[in-house]
A and B are shown apart, each in its own frame.
Chain A
Amino acid sequence: MAGYFANIQETVTSIFEGMSITFSHFVRRPFTVQYPDKIPIPIQDTLPFRYRGILEVDLEICTGCLACERACPIDCIVIEAKKDKQTKAMMLNRFDIDIAKCMYCGLCSEPCPTGSIHHTSQFEGADYSLESMLRRFVKTPVAAYKPSKGPETDPEIVPFLDRGLRYLDDFAKPGGSSEPGGADAS
C-alpha cells in the first residue's frame, strides 16, 4: 500500500520521459551506411593505408624471379617462366593468381625485387562464377623485365618501376608515409 500513488506517478513520468527520448531519436539521421548504394565517400578512401586487397601484377616490371611463387604459403600463384633458347630472354607464359585461394597475407609482395606484385585496395571481387576467381595476368607470352645497372631509361617502364619501388618502401617501413587511400595509391 505504501507508495501506491507514488508508483503510479513514477510510472507515468518515466514512460513520458522515455517516450520523449525515443522520439528524439526518431528525428535523427540513422547511423546505417547503405553500402554499396549510398555511401558518402568512395569505399576505397575509408580503407587503412596498407590495406591488403586483391593482388595485381605489373607485368612490365616483373623479372620472372619466382620469389612470390616460392613465398606463397598456399600456392595460389602459378608462374611459367622459361628462358627462350633463341633470344636468351626469360619469357613469361603464365602468371595466374587464384584470388579465392589467396589469404591476403602479403608474403608474396615482400620479396618482389621491383614491387610488380602488389596489393590493391580492391576487395569487391565476389562473383557467381568460380572461373573468374582465377586472375590470369599473361594474355600473350611476354619477356620478363631485365633490371638495368643504372637508373632505368625506358620512359614507359619508369612510372611502373617508381610506383613499385615506392610500394615496397612504404610496406617495409613501420609507420610508412602519410599517404591515405589504401595500399595502391593509383
Chain B
Amino acid sequence: MRDLVLSMIADGGLLAGMPYSLAAPLVMVAFGALVVFGFVLPIAGVTSWLERRVWARIQSRIGPNRVGPQGFLQWLADGLKNLLKEDIIPSAADKWLFSLAPYLVVAGFIATFATIPFTSSLIIADLNIGILYITGVTGIVVVGVLMAGWSSNNKWSLLGGIRSAAQIVSYEIPAGLSVFPIVLLTGTLSMQGIIRAQGWAPWDWFFFYNPFTFVAFFVFFVAALAEGNRTPFDIPEAESELVAGFCTEYSGMRYLLFFLEEWGNLYVIGAIVTTLFLGGWQVPAFTDNQTLLTVAQFGTFFLKAYFFVFLAMWVRATLPRLRVDQLMTVCWKYMVPIAIVNMIGTAAWMLLVPEALGRMVQIGMTVGGGVVVVVFFRRVRFHLRRANLQPSDYYYSPII
C-alpha cells in the first residue's frame, strides 16, 4: 500500500504533488470502497445463492435455477425485492436502536476486510496487530445483535438476542485461544507476517506443523462457526424455534443486512482460517511475471477461503442444531480446555522439540492428512454403493 501511494504521488502518477499524509488515506479509502462494493457485497450475495444450491443438492433437490443462468442472479432478485419492501418499525420498539442495529452488525463484519490479505501486496492496511484487530472488531456484531433483540420489544427477539450474545461472547474465548499457538510460532500478529512464516507446500502450513496446531485448527473453525451464528449453532436464528430469533421484527432490507453479515462472515472465517493455518496466498515461485504471480496468489487465497465457505454450508446441511445448554457445555467444558492445552503444548513443542524431529512430524502429519482424505472418500464410496444406484443416478455436474 505504501509503495502504491508513493508511486501515485510521484511526478508521473495520478495524484502527483499531493502530500503523503493526504494521499495515503485517500487511496486507502478508495481501495476500501472498491473492496467493499466490488468484492465483499457481491461475495456475500453469491454465497447466499451458492448456499442454497449446495444445500439443495445435499438434500437431493435443485436449488434456485430460474433467475439467470443456473439461478445465479437469484441474490440480486432477492436484494431488489427486499429493497422494495415496506420498512416496518414496530410502534413500541425503540426506533433509533432498531434502525441502527443492522448497520452495526454489517459494520462489524465489513471492517475486518481492512486486514484480509488477498495477495502479498493487495491488502488495505497491514496492521501489525492484524489478527487482534479482527478479533476485536467482530465484537461489534455482539452489540448490534443485542441491540436488535432488545429494541424489537418482542420476547422472541430478546431471547434470541441474549442467546446470541452469550454464544458469541463465549466462543470468542476458544477462538482467541486457538490463535495463540500461531502467534507463538510466528511471533507476530500481522496477517502478512503470519502468511510469510508459512510456505506454499502443505507440510509447511501451520495446519500440519504439530498435533496441537492441528487440533487448534478445528477448535478455531468450530468457534468461528459459532460466532457467525451458523448451524449447528444457529439458536439465535433458530428458524423452527424462535421464528427468526433476534431479527423477527425486521423486514425488507434491514432483515437482509443481518443475513448479508452471516454469509459475508463465512468468507471472513475462511479467509482467517487460510491465513492462520493454510498458508494464505503462498504459491511456489513458478514465474517471474509479477502480474501472473499476483493472480495466482489471489486465486489460491480465494479458493482456499471459499473451500471453507463450502465446508460451512456442508456442515449446515449435515448437523442438527445444538440446544443452548449443549452449546455452552461444548464451549466451556470442551473447547476452552482443549484450546488452553493447545497453547501450552505449542509452547512446549517450540521449546523441547528439535528441528529435525519437528520436520519429520510435519511431513508425517501431512501424510496422515492425506490418509484421512482417502478414508473419507472411501466412506463416501461405501455409502454410494450401499444405496444401489444405477449409473444414471450419479450426477457430478453442478449444472442441471
Q: Cβ of A26 and Cβ of B319 under 8 Å apart?
A: no
- Chain B min CB distance to A167 (Å): 37
**For the complex, what is the distance from the CA of A149 to the CA of B382, rounded to whole Å?**
72
Q: Is B332 an interface residue (CB 8 A)?
A: no
Q: Is B22 an interface residue (CB 8 A)?
A: no
Within 8 A of B (CB), among A1-53: 7-8, 15-32, 34
Q: Cβ of B395 and Cβ of A28 under 8 Å apart?
A: yes
Q: Cβ of A30 and Cβ of B61 under 8 Å apart?
A: yes
Q: Cβ of A23 and Cβ of B314 under 8 Å apart?
A: yes
Known contacts A27-B396, A30-B395; is A19 also within 8 Å of B57 by CB? Answer: no
Q: Cβ of A19 and Cβ of B315 under 8 Å apart?
A: yes
Beta-carbon nearest neighbor of B54 in chain A: A26
- Majority-rule SS of B interface residues: helix
Q: Is B334 an interface residue (CB 8 A)?
A: yes
- Chain A min CB distance to B6 (Å): 49
Q: Is B384 an interface residue (CB 8 A)?
A: yes
Looking at the complex, which one of B54, B60, B314 makes contact with A19 (CB distance below 8 Å)? B314
Q: Cβ of A27 and Cβ of B394 under 8 Å apart?
A: yes
* Neighbouring B residues of A26 by C-beta, 8 Å: 54, 57-58, 314
Q: Cβ of A29 and Cβ of B319 under 8 Å apart?
A: no
* Neighbouring A residues of B353 by C-beta, 8 Å: none
Q: Is B317 an interface residue (CB 8 A)?
A: yes
- Majority-rule SS of A interface residues: helix
Known contacts A20-B376, A20-B383; is A30 also within 8 Å of B400 by CB? Answer: yes
Q: Cβ of A21 and Cβ of B383 under 8 Å apart?
A: yes
Number of interface residues of B (CB under 8 A): 30
- Chain B min CB distance to A12 (Å): 8
**For the complex, what is the distance from the CA of A13 to the CA of B312, rounded to whole Å?**
18
**For the complex, what is the distance from the CA of A20 to the CA of B315, rounded to whole Å?**
11
Q: Cβ of B317 and Cβ of A22 under 8 Å apart?
A: yes
Within 8 A of A (CB), among B307-339: 314-315, 317-319, 334
Q: Is B387 an interface residue (CB 8 A)?
A: yes
Beta-carbon nearest neighbor of A31 in chain B: B60
Residue interface mask B26-57, A partner, CB < 8 A = 1 = 00000000000000000000000000001011
Within 8 A of B (CB), among A82-119: none
Residue interface mask B296-315, A partner, CB < 8 A = 1 = 00000000000000000011
Q: Is B379 an interface residue (CB 8 A)?
A: yes
- Chain A min CB distance to B57 (Å): 5
**For the complex, what is the distance from the CA of A17 to the CA of B372, rounded to whole Å?**
12
* Neighbouring A residues of B319 by C-beta, 8 Å: 15, 18
**For the complex, what is the distance from the CA of A30 to the CA of B62, rounded to whole Å?**
6
* Neighbouring B residues of A8 by C-beta, 8 Å: 334
* Neighbouring A residues of B54 by C-beta, 8 Å: 26
Looking at the complex, which one of B61, B318, B382 makes contact with A15 (CB distance below 8 Å)? B318
Q: Is B240 an interface residue (CB 8 A)?
A: no
- Chain A min CB distance to B152 (Å): 34
* Neighbouring A residues of B382 by C-beta, 8 Å: 20
Beta-carbon nearest neighbor of B381 in chain A: A24
Q: Cβ of A28 and Cβ of B393 under 8 Å apart?
A: yes
Q: Cβ of B58 and Cβ of A29 under 8 Å apart?
A: no
* Neighbouring B residues of A27 by C-beta, 8 Å: 380, 384, 394-396
Q: Cβ of A29 and Cβ of B392 under 8 Å apart?
A: yes
Q: Cβ of A22 and Cβ of B62 under 8 Å apart?
A: no
Q: Cβ of B61 and Cβ of A29 under 8 Å apart?
A: no
Known contacts A20-B380, A24-B383; is A34 also within 8 Å of B58 by CB? Answer: no
**For the complex, what is the distance from the CA of A21 to the CA of B334, rounded to whole Å?**
26
Q: Is B128 an interface residue (CB 8 A)?
A: no
Q: Cβ of B57 and Cβ of A30 under 8 Å apart?
A: yes
**For the complex, what is the distance from the CA of A7 to the CA of B65, rounded to whole Å?**
41
Q: Cβ of A17 and Cβ of B334 under 8 Å apart?
A: no
Beta-carbon nearest neighbor of B375 in chain A: A16
* Neighbouring B residues of A34 by C-beta, 8 Å: 62, 65
Given A28-B394, A30-B56, 10 extra CB contacts under 8 A: A7-B334, A17-B379, A20-B379, A24-B384, A25-B57, A25-B58, A25-B59, A27-B384, A29-B400, A34-B65
Can you list 22 A-B contacts (CB < 8 A)? Answer: A15-B318, A15-B319, A16-B376, A16-B379, A20-B376, A20-B382, A23-B58, A23-B380, A24-B387, A25-B58, A25-B59, A25-B60, A26-B54, A27-B384, A27-B394, A28-B393, A30-B57, A30-B60, A30-B61, A30-B62, A31-B60, A31-B61
What are the nearest 5 A-B pairs in CB distance? A20-B379, A29-B395, A24-B383, A22-B318, A32-B62
